[in-house]
Structure 1
Amino acid sequence: MDRAARDEICRLSATELAARIGASEISPLEATDAVLERIAAVDGALAAYCTLAPDRAREQARTLADRIARGEQVGPLAGVPVGVKDLITTKGIRTTSGSPAYEDFVPDEDDIVVERAVAAGAVVLGKTNASEFGYSATGHNPLFPTTRNPWNTALTPGGSSAGSAAAVAAGLGPAALGSDGGGSIRVPAAHCGLVGFKASMGRVPVWPGCRDERYPGVSGWESLEHLGPLTRTVADTALVLAVLAGPDPRDRHSIPCGDVDWTAAARPTDITGLRIAYSADLGYLPVDPEVGRVVADAVRVFETDLGCHVEAADPGWKDPGEAFAALIAAETDLRGMRRLISVHGERMSPHLVEMMQRDWTAEEFTDATMVRKSVVNRMARFMRDYDLLITPTTAVPAFPVDIQGPTVIDGRTVPDTAWTGFTSPQNLTGQPAISVPAGFTRDGLPVGLQITGRHLADGQVLRVASAFERAAPWAGRWPGDPA
């Protein structure tokens, strides 16, 4: 396949690619080979994938092609190549969680989302890079090269779903699966110019990830973690969610989804009259001036083009960042993690080791639970008056890839928790939240707009995101190929 033909396939959306495969215009094997060839050509500069499974992917594609040729019904993702974050278990494909402790771990079962994606015909290309156990909003881990942003390889793509975002942004698969415990889908979506959706808690079941007591580190974040897609369009996000969402008895948090028609929610609709609260900083977050400018311009689209009523308002809680860290620790197998550190600690991420070895107190954990309840209750009361809350997705655009700690915004030192300051509250509350491209800084870096809905109002969040996408389209803009 020549480069032009290859890249034409790689730039198709998941929706377009699935339709063309269904119409026998492109074969599943052609699509798979095109993406694998592009990965070979450009991923050396990005490190989006950490483990590839090309033989398995091609076998999946050939099987799908045979089924299509026999006239069998195939799923809505038939032939669509996808990457799977390295924190999400894949039967028979190495899943390291970015940690030396699991360097050679090969799961004996798929996570539910992988099960469902494969059953719907998706072709799993391999595993996408992530920070160690997801404990960072960047793409660093001790095992693999650091993932870089396709828009500027000197910068981070965000994290912890770093590889999933970089892959989709660079055309290394039209969709990828990520996880989001505090913004780990939405943050990299913002930094890479993508759509990243964290559905309401329980819409997309999570198992065995976060639930499997056999594996310290893998078994944390249970009440915070969400799984979902990173894509280039809202329609693609809806397509994937229609496959992933729905209850499963293995996840005690999963809930019915019959009230949401995912694909219908992404179709054109009128959102005139919706009441939107816009918070530029949640009342406490320092925000990069360029991010503030781009998001403010995007918010005006909701008033001038879409007919919404927009009002500046803050939910009114104090920064829950410290409490969030305590909640993560409280849901972690500290005893098990400390055993792993005793063996692998010299190779593990220093910030993770420090967090696990800290002498946490019961009071810190219970105080954090009270902070969470306060955030949940304040948000519930706040959303009585508004249909949606709009904020920036991140306080900063993509930053240098070597930064892992505090940074400086507008002359002020900002802790790394500020990178997820706009996204982590929705993990505390379980509300649906989507990041969509808002525009670009003057330096050409993507900026994300976060749309948060009322609890369980997933369909409305998608409808509003789709309306904004039509008013301010973004999918035609691509980063250049990395050198």
Structure 2
Amino acid sequence: MIGRREISPVELMDACIERIETVNPAVNAIAATCFAEAREEARQAERAVLKGERLGLLHGLPLGVKDLEDTAGLLTTYGSPIYRSHVPDKDGLIVERLRASGAILAAKTNVPEMGAGANTRNPVWGATGNPFNPELNAGGSSGGSAAALACDMLPVCTGSDTGGSLRIPASKCGVVGFRPTPGLVPNSRRPLGWTPISVVGPMGRTVADTALQLAATSGLSAVDPLSYEVDPLGFASLDEFDLSTLRVGWTEDFGVCDVDETIRQTFRSRIAAISGLVHSCQEVSFVLGDAHRCFDVIRAEGFVAGLHDAYSRNPEDLGANARVNYELGAQMSLADCAWAHAEQTRLMRRFQATFSDCDVILAPTTPVSPFPWRQAYAMTISGRQQENYYRWLALTYVVTLTTNPAISMPCGVDEFGMPFGIQVVGPFRNDRRLLTIALAFERAFEQRPSLRRPKPDLSRLGEPTLSLTSIVTAPPIFNPAGDYQTGTSIV
């Protein structure tokens, strides 16, 4: 529409800012903003259109950047009081590429402190509420981006994913979150450059929006040793795909994940509907070994690498989740790390064998419906105590360990009327094929009310609730000693 001069970048930016100012107080998805600068860049973008200049893939589109990514000249806190006044002088690589493609930075989006956890709340910006019910959580750690997209505050938002941080908030807010193959989108802030557990990637309201952002950000970069050459424009125009030829494998739990019975029932109903769209739809089984311990070790290793300086200065400066993860990792041995990386390799190789009998694997994205944001995490699932604050993310982190691309896309609502996300896992290093299949699913879902993407009723959000910035008592958190502790924090 911008390229055809049907809408001006200035009009679009003004509309997004107006929507943010109207709706954000109820959900608190947006952190720092730079509206004056964004409006000036929109005017420049408008002039480029009128002059007939060549336009980038994202020319004139307002951009929200997850507050874990550095943005030159705009406050970047990582959700931590340590960085409450931190203003970077340089963009992170993903931001640099998005801006080079014409996107206009308008705001940062909220995160859990240091990105630790799947409930977006922190001592700097407060809690992000779910657009369908602000008293419930929006997921995390890309919860601010997901909520902003669901509320149409911004058309382009970034995310990142270690244990499910792109996929989980997308599922809970009714948008699309894509975890790409490690290295497809270079990650300039991963401290362990050779470890594929953490990625940056796109979120969008639709598969096409998500793929467009991927096209603007993918490709080789010397800052990421896992990055590789790719034709980015291949993601900007996805092929048609005939679902009647698709072989689907599905699992409720990968054989190792706790899943609430209500989610299992919702997932079964979706599989029943999808089975009529595809060539075959069969349950598949997995042998994933000790996936939980494997993820524990590799995840903690990353926290030790990333938070060493901050912890050395003063451990109490870190929030409980980040501090505990660091301490857990600091107690591990070289033998622990070697075992975990070897176990991940074994798990990954066994997982690929599944694709000899199916083209994609479907699973629920999350094991529970959105719960109150005051509750830090899902402490029990189907009566089973979760041993730490991120174990409830297992449906996504077991896929992280495989390194396969995965997308969470909206697929109707659950029995509580909240968005339900289907996780679609694609073949090894075949991101484009996965997106092509996801686009075909999205189009088919749109024709069926029970599968269609739900949208929040923004008129019902009303005035902001004091609870989004109130004092809460944190529920038990896991610590290396194996016992539990409680604490009080401002969120």
Identical amino acids, percent of aligned pairs: 34
Amino acid in structure 2 at the alignment position of 1:437: P
Match of 1:91, SS? coil
String of CA shifts for 1:63-121, please: whole Å, max 9, x gaps: 10111111111112111112000111212212111112222222222122211211111
Stretch moving more, 338-347 or 291-300 = 338-347
Match of 1:196, SS? strand
Gaps of 5+ in 2: 447-451, 463-491
Task: State the shift of 1:333 in Å.
Answer: 4.1
What are the equivalent positions in structure 2 for 1:140-179 lying under 5 Å apart?
Answer: 140-179=121-160
Amino acid in structure 2 at the alignment position of 1:443: F
- Is residue 295 of structure 1 aligned with residue 275 of structure 2? no
Distance 1:135 1:220 in 2: 19
What are the equivalent positions in structure 2 for 1:71-82 lying under 5 Å apart?
Answer: 71-82=52-63
Equivalent residue, structure 1, for 2:319: 349
Task: State the shift of 1:475 in Å.
Answer: 4.4
Match of 2:357, SS? coil
- Is residue 329 of structure 1 aligned with residue 300 of structure 2? yes
With normalisation by structure 2, the TM-score equals: 0.87
Q: Is the 8 A contact 1:260 1:459 kept in 2?
A: no
Equivalent residue, structure 1, for 2:382: 410
Amino acid in structure 2 at the alignment position of 1:450: Q
Amino acid in structure 2 at the alignment position of 1:157: A
What are the equivalent positions in structure 2 for 1:97-176 lying under 5 Å apart?
Answer: 97-176=78-157
String of CA shifts for 1:171-225, please: whole Å, max 9, x gaps: 1112210011111000000000111111111111111x114xxxxxxx7995311
Amino acid in structure 2 at the alignment position of 1:191: K
Q: Is the 8 A contact 1:220 1:332 kept in 2?
A: no
Gaps of 5+ in 1: 1-19, 212-218
Distance 2:163 2:193 in 1: 13
Number of aligned residue pairs? 453
String of CA shifts for 1:252-311, please: whole Å, max 9, x gaps: 11112239821332x542132322210111112221223222222222333212x22111
Q: Is the 8 A contact 2:410 2:454 kept in 1?
A: no
Equivalent residue, structure 2, for 1:459: 432
Equivalent residue, structure 2, for 1:480: 458
Equivalent residue, structure 1, for 2:283: 312
Task: State the shift of 1:406 in Å.
Answer: 4.5
Distance 2:115 2:246 in 1: 35
Structure that is richer in strand per residue: 2
Task: State the shift of 1:350 in Å.
Answer: 1.0
Q: Is the 8 A contact 2:266 2:415 kept in 1?
A: no
Distance 1:250 1:355 in 2: 26
Distance 1:475 1:81 in 2: 23
Equivalent residue, structure 2, for 1:382: 354
- CA 107–203 in structure 1, closer or farther in 2 if over 3 Å, else same: same
With normalisation by structure 1, the TM-score equals: 0.89
Moved over 4 A (4+): 219-222
Distance 2:426 2:233 in 1: 14
Distance 1:221 1:145 in 2: 34
Amino acid in structure 2 at the alignment position of 1:323: C
What are the equivalent positions in structure 2 for 1:57-96 lying under 5 Å apart?
Answer: 57-96=38-77
- CA 447–418 in structure 1, closer or farther in 2 if over 3 Å, else same: farther
Q: Is the 8 A contact 2:218 2:230 kept in 1?
A: yes
Task: State the shift of 1:366 in Å.
Answer: 2.0
Distance 2:296 2:208 in 1: 34
Amino acid in structure 1 at the alignment position of 2:133: N
Task: State the shift of 1:451 in Å.
Answer: 0.6
Match of 1:249, SS? coil
Task: State the shift of 1:235 in Å.
Answer: 1.2
Match of 2:121, SS? coil
Q: Is the 8 A contact 2:82 2:317 kept in 1?
A: no
Distance 2:424 2:300 in 1: 28
String of CA shifts for 1:370-409, please: whole Å, max 9, x gaps: 2212211211222233221111111112111012244233
Distance 1:222 1:129 in 2: 26
